[in-house]
Structure 1
C-alpha cells in the first residue's frame, strides 16, 4: 500500500459497513425480545430465540413452497434455455440477430406489466394460486438471461470437438448432450443459481398470482402474517427474513467459484 492510497482501505471498510448495517440490524432485531425492540439497542442485550421458534412453527409450509418454486424454476429454465442457447450459438438458424435482440427486449419489460398479463391469462386457465403458475411466471424472468449467458459460452467452444463428434456419427442432439452440456457446467450452474434466486426472492408475481394460496404461498408472502393494520410483529418478521436469507447466502458461498467462471466464460475468445 502506497502513501497516496492509504485512505482507500478505511473508506472501503466504511462503505462496506454502511451497506451491511441493514443486514446486521435485521439479525439484531430477530434476537431481541419483543419488549426491548423499541429501545433500539445496537446489540441484543435482551437476547431471545422466541422469534425463531415462532417462525419455525408458522413459516415452514411457506419455506417449502419457495423451495418447490425455486427448484421448479431452475428445471424449467435449464430445460428451455440450454437447447435454445445451443441452437443460437452453434446452429445456422435464420434470424439469430433478431432473436438475440428479442431476448434483450424481454429483460426490459417491467415485471409489473408481465404480472398483469399473467393474471388475465391465469384467471382463464385456472393457474391462479398454484405452484406451477408461479414456476412458469418466474421462468419468464430467468430464461432470457440464461439463454444469453449460455449462448455466449457455447459460441466459444472449440468447433473441432463438435466436428469430431459428427465424424464419429453423433447426431446434433447427441453432440449437445454428451459434449456441449458437460463442457458448459460452470455456465449451467450460474444460470441455475440466478434462476433459483429470482424465484426465491420473488414478491411481485407471488403477490399478484398467489394471494389466496394459503399454505401454498411462498416465504415472501408468508412474512405478511406479521404485518397488521395496527401492529407489526417486528421480531418474527426479522427472524423470517433471516431464515429466508440463509439458503440464498449458502448457495452463493458454495457456488461462488462456479459463478465467477460462468459469468466470465465467453467474454474472451481466441
Structure 2
C-alpha cells in the first residue's frame, strides 16, 4: 500500500523526468521538480487551502446544531432523519454536481470561491452530523439543565457547555470535512469553467495533460498536495481516536 507513495516521492526527487529511467532509490536527490511544481501549482495549492478551510467552517456551523437537535431534543422522526442523512452519501458526486451546476448558473455561483466552498461542505456534512450526534447523545442532559438554571438560555448553553465538551468530535468532523474538500475533483471540474478558482486536484489533472512527459514535476506536485493532509492527520490523531470512540461509550 505504501509503495506507490514511496514511488511518488522517489520520482519527484529524481532529475530525470522519464518514468522508465527512474531509479528505485534516488542516488542524487534533486529538488528542481518541487521548484517547478510550486511555480506552476502554488496558486492551486492556496486555492485548495482556502476552499477546504471554508468548507470546514460551513460544515461545522451547520452540523453542530443539527446534531445537537437530533441528539437531545427528542425530535419525532429523528432516526429517519439520521438514516436519510446517511443515504445522501450514497448519491454519486457527479449526479449532485450536474444538478448544482444548473442552480449555480442561476445564482451566479459558477467559478466562485463561495460556490465551491458550499459544494465541498456538502461532502462532509452528512458524516459530520452523524458523528457529532453519536457523541452528543452521551452528553448528560443534567449538565445543560444546570447551566439553564444558572440563567443561560438554550443557545448559550449550547455554545458554552455542549461545544467545549464536544471538542474531540468537532476536531474529528472538521478534519474529515477538510479531507473531503481537499480531495474533491468532481465539483472542482464541473462547477468551474475558467482558471479563476482552480484547486490543486484540478491543477494536477491539467498539469498532467500539459506536462505528460515531465513526470518528476507531476509527482512533486502530488507530494506537495499530500503534505497538508498528512500534517493535519498527524497533529490531530489523538483527537480523532477520542472523537470516533467517544460516542460509543456513555
Question: One fold, TM greater than 0.5?
Answer: yes
Match in the other structure for 1:15: none
Match in the other structure for 1:255: 236
The question of 1:220 aligning with 2:201 is answered yes
1:29 Cα offset (Å): 0.5
The question of 1:130 aligning with 2:112 is answered yes
1:94 Cα offset (Å): 2.6
Match in the other structure for 1:69: 51
Is the Cα–Cα contact under 8 Å of residues 66 and 219 in structure 1 kept in the other structure? yes
Partner of 1:178: helix, strand, or coil? helix
Is the Cα–Cα contact under 8 Å of residues 85 and 148 in structure 1 kept in the other structure? yes
* Gap change, CA 1:134 and 1:232, over 3 Å in 2: farther
In structure 2, how many angstroms separate the alpha carbons of the residues matched to 1:182 and 1:230? 48
1:44 Cα offset (Å): 1.5
In structure 2, how many angstroms separate the alpha carbons of the residues matched to 1:229 and 1:67? 23
1:215 Cα offset (Å): 4.5
State the Cα RMSD in Å.
Answer: 1.5
Which consecutive residues of structure 1, in runs of 5 or more, have no partner in the other structure? 1-18
Which consecutive residues of structure 2, in runs of 5 or more, have no partner in the other structure? none
In structure 2, how many angstroms separate the alpha carbons of the residues matched to 1:204 and 1:101? 25
Deviations along 1:37-57, whole A, 9 cap, x unmatched? 422310123532111110111
Is the Cα–Cα contact under 8 Å of residues 119 and 128 in structure 1 kept in the other structure? yes
TM-score with structure 1 setting the length:
0.88
Deviations along 1:204-241, whole A, 9 cap, x unmatched? 111111242x1520011111343237943211110000
Partner of 1:258: helix, strand, or coil? helix
1:166 Cα offset (Å): 2.0
**More moved, 241-250 vs 165-174:** 165-174
In structure 2, how many angstroms separate the alpha carbons of the residues matched to 1:199 and 1:151? 21
Match in the other structure for 1:114: 96
* Gap change, CA 1:86 and 1:234, over 3 Å in 2: same
Q: Which residue of 218, 222, 226 maps to 1:237?
A: 218
In structure 2, how many angstroms separate the alpha carbons of the residues matched to 1:35 and 1:132? 37
Q: Which residue of 159, 164, 174 maps to 1:182?
A: 164
In structure 1, how many angstroms separate the alpha carbons of the residues matched to 2:17 and 2:132? 51
Match in the other structure for 1:191: 173
Partner of 2:182: helix, strand, or coil? helix
1:158 Cα offset (Å): 1.5
Larger CA Rg, structure 1 vs 2: 1
In structure 1, how many angstroms separate the alpha carbons of the residues matched to 2:87 and 2:142? 33
The question of 1:101 aligning with 2:70 is answered no
